[in-house]
Amino acid sequence: MKRLQADPAESVSPTQAVPQLIAATAQSLPEQDHALARARAFAEPLLACESLDTGENILAHADAVAAILKTIGGSEAMQAASYLVYACDHLQKPQEVIAKAFGDNFAELAVETTKLVRVQRQARQTQVANARASNAISMAQTVAVQTENVRKMLLAFSRDLRVVMLRLASRLQTLRFFAASKLPVPPGLVREAQQVFAPLANRLGIWEIKWEMEDLAFRFMEPDTYRQVARLLDEKRAQREAQVAHLRACLEADLKAQGIDAMVQGRPKHIYSIVKKMRGKSLGFDQVYDIRALRIVVASIPDCYAALSWVHSTFTPVPDEFDDYIAKPKGNGYQSLHTVVRDGNGQPIEIQIRTQAMHDHAEHGVAAHWAYKEAGVKGYAGVSASGAYDAKIAVLRQLLAWERDLSGEQGQGDFDDRIYVLTPDAAIVELPQGATAVDFAYSVHTNLGHRCRGARLDGVMVPLNTPLKNGQTVEVTVVKEGGPSRDWLNIELGYLVSHRARSKVRAWFNAQAMHETVAKGREAVEKLLQRLGKTAVKLEDLASQLGFNSADELFEVVGKDEFSLRNIEILLRPPEPAPSEDDYLLLKKPRSAANPAKGGVLVVGVDSLMTQLAKCCKPAPPDAICGFVTRGKGVSVHRTDCSNLREMVAKNGERVIEVEWGLPKAATTAVYPVDVAIEAADRQGLLRDISEVFTKEKMNVIGVQTQSVKGTAWMTFTVEVSNSGRLAKVLAIVAELTGVRSARRR
């Protein structure tokens, strides 16, 4: 917008003038005076010297919008809002100021419409900026921007349906302004009028706006064709009007003679509809049937069919040119009988027959009984409205149908994958095609989704995995506390379609698992601290010393077995210095000091003494091994590099015994379990690829543990080997797999 400069000595900012405006309006107009006059008096000082970005004076624009609303049946409250909408831009707190001066109802309507105006203005500015940057906007980009506008409009309309009327009237006036001023029209504005607003007016049955908007948009987009058709209409106007007047009088008199009280009218001609019919049916101008058109309005539905019978008996019906929209109304509630007949000279005449109620709806559509906030108990589009809520639902469903019409006209399939349903409060919710009540619940609020347990569609109880349809009213029942079911993640059961809802369910279960993992890790760490006598250690400090940001992070990796408690033990109680070469000699005790075995050497698997392979290091031939005499469990055999063995030697060196591998019995091959640790970048098929290597190398896998943390997979395989030396070759093959960072024996 731009402000015209006034005398500095007399200039007062509109914002500063607001308190005086409220007071002046209240003093000059008694409370019982019309809201329209009060609103104009309030807005005039703010808007009189202001212009829209189209160049039109704002006050003149608001006057014209109010007049349009009046002609289509809009209430004074709606007409008043046409001024208050533009006043919002000059108020610091428009909601409060307008509510104080006119009431909350006016404030809500003005502010809601202002939001939509700003959305559309911003979209157009973005489009212009893109055009300047690239010199042209691709059709895909144009459609994408328009699609987003439509969705935003749907959401805005769902909050207050009166916004529909205000925006339609405003856009019509903008087109009228460009037609009168001869100024160049922004292409995006015309395209929006033709592809968005005119179809919306059609869906709501507001044909006065639809026809004029289409004619004006066509005039700007194809001026030469428009002028040509207009000239052809003007050339035969006098003759055509005389013929229509004669036909009208004859029909009215003849119907009355048949006992049918009827009002016969001529119908206005709309250039765009004429051209559309000519192009759609490849007709010449003289062949378009509705160049001469009449409308018969009668008192009742039986009279409609009686009049049709008389028309068909009097004139010659044109085959395949009859439509019964009374028996089968159009989707927007339109009802009428349409027929085309030929007079005595063979000239075609299109005739519509309807009742007065049908005519009112055909002329004004939703405006005839329209506003759920103003109409009271009235029906719409064939729906008997038992209250304001039902009226609102009926109109909302027409908005949803308009959205589907629009997507079909664009031919881009932008909405093929979307549906729109209604909440119990009649707000519109956008969902993917095939969505269920569970998807709906998660789209409203995550917690509502977690606690969802039942659903009603249009008041009827249905299973939770029932696919929703456009326009249905969805109500869910919930429990006070609880979480989702794991069944919801089963694709075959069909509970969830939305990726957003599925991610929320997974996040809930991950959070539960994380809570259990952290609790498990905390318990393990606390038990270790008790065993070490270090209960005074602060857990947060311990985590920090180990390189974690918090104690919970430490507990998490401990609970997942990704972090050995041995690391904590080493931190709190540093180990003895690594044994020197002389220390290792302690492992070889004199044969006289050893337990009585063959030559003082215990042969694993051959001697009569009970032996067991240590689980901590899982030795296998030909590993260097050493024995340790346990209390009551025989000899525990360790690898000589086992850290646990070193500790036991340091404490009880006298219990060490020299051992060696024995030969297996004939016809048998002994196998030993060993652990293999693998670190790799997590990817699909990683576990399968590693397993295939072990299978190909004929190594039996008897256990697998795997965990993925932040894209890194930690895997432990337990495999059976007869000779640990061969394992190194297999691990070298594993290390060459895609993503594997290390493969080693534990």
Residue pLDDT, tens place only, 472-506: 889 999 998 888 998 998 888 999 998 889 999 99
Reading the block at residue 385, the tokens are 């409205």
Parent domain of 58 = 2-206
The residues with which 743 forms a beta bridge, in sequence order, are: 678
334 plus 237 within the same structural domain: yes
8 Å CB contact between 311 and 250: no
pLDDT greater than 80 at residue 171: yes
Q: How high is the pLDDT of residue 7?
A: 34
Structure confidence at residue 373 as a pLDDT band (50, 70, 90)? very low
Q: How high is the pLDDT of residue 425?
A: 72
Looking at the domain assignment, is residue 502 inside a domain?
Answer: no
Q: If you average pLDDT over residues 427-447, what whole number do you get?
A: 87
Looking at the domain assignment, is residue 213 inside a domain?
Answer: no
18 plus 165 within the same structural domain: yes
644 plus 568 within the same structural domain: no
Least confident of 177-191, 379-393, 445-459: 379-393
pLDDT greater than 70 at residue 311: yes
Nearest C-alpha neighbor of 38 from the set 66, 11, 16: 66
The domain tally of the chain equals 6
Q: How high is the pLDDT of residue 294?
A: 87
C-alpha Rg value of the chain to the nearest Å: 42
Looking at the domain assignment, is residue 220 inside a domain?
Answer: no
Q: How high is the pLDDT of residue 3?
A: 37
585 plus 568 within the same structural domain: no
440 plus 549 within the same structural domain: no
Distance of CA 28 to the CA centre of its chain: 49
Looking at the domain assignment, is residue 216 inside a domain?
Answer: no
Alpha-carbon distance values, 230 to 234, 539, 622 (Å)? 6, 87, 103
Q: How high is the pLDDT of residue 578?
A: 46
pLDDT greater than 90 at residue 382: no
Secondary structure of 574-607 as H, E, C letters: CCCCCCCHHHHHHHCCCHHHCCCCHHHCEEECCC
Could you give the CA distance from residue 571 to residue 566 in angstroms, rounded to a whole number? 9
Choose between 663 and 443: higher pLDDT.
443
Which residues have CB under 8 Å from 640's CB, separation 6+?
A: 584, 587, 623, 624, 625, 626
Specify the CATH number for the domain of residue 430: 3.10.20.30
Q: How high is the pLDDT of residue 452?
A: 93
pLDDT digits (tens, 9 = 90+) for 592-644: 333 333 333 466 554 456 778 888 888 888 888 888 888 777 788 888 888 88
CB atoms within 10 A of CB 484: 22
pLDDT digits (tens, 9 = 90+) for 44-78: 988 888 888 889 999 999 999 999 888 877 777 78
Structure confidence at residue 201 as a pLDDT band (50, 70, 90)? confident
Domain boundary among 572, 598, 619: 572
pLDDT greater than 50 at residue 218: yes
Q: How high is the pLDDT of residue 464?
A: 93
Secondary structure of 402-457 as H, E, C letters: HHHHHHHHHCCCCCCCEEEEECCCCCEEEEECCCCHHHHHHHHCHHHHHCEEEEEE
The residue whose two tokens read 């208050």 is 84
**DSSP letter, residue 385:** -
146 plus 75 within the same structural domain: yes
Domain boundary among 636, 661, 686: 661
637 plus 738 within the same structural domain: no
Q: How high is the pLDDT of residue 227?
A: 85
Nearest C-alpha neighbor of 435 from the set 452, 423, 422, 418: 418
Most confident of 167-181, 192-206, 263-277, 404-418: 167-181
Q: How high is the pLDDT of residue 267?
A: 67
Looking at the domain assignment, is residue 387 inside a domain?
Answer: no
161 plus 116 within the same structural domain: yes
643 plus 706 within the same structural domain: no
Q: How high is the pLDDT of residue 666?
A: 53
Which residues have CB under 8 Å from 660's CB, separation 6+?
A: 601, 602, 603, 604, 625
Specify the CATH number for the domain of residue 257: 3.30.460.10
Structure confidence at residue 722 as a pLDDT band (50, 70, 90)? confident
40 plus 185 within the same structural domain: yes
Alpha helices for 34-138 (secondary structure H): 35-47, 58-71, 76-87, 94-102, 104-134
94 plus 150 within the same structural domain: yes
Least confident of 364-368, 416-420, 552-556: 364-368
Most confident of 73-82, 288-297, 384-393: 73-82
Looking at the domain assignment, is residue 390 inside a domain?
Answer: no
Structure confidence at residue 426 as a pLDDT band (50, 70, 90)? low
Reading the block at residue 494, the tokens are 């069909």
Choose between 375 and 42: higher pLDDT.
42
pLDDT greater than 50 at residue 379: no
Looking at the domain assignment, is residue 150 inside a domain?
Answer: yes
280 plus 315 within the same structural domain: yes
Looking at the domain assignment, is residue 404 inside a domain?
Answer: no
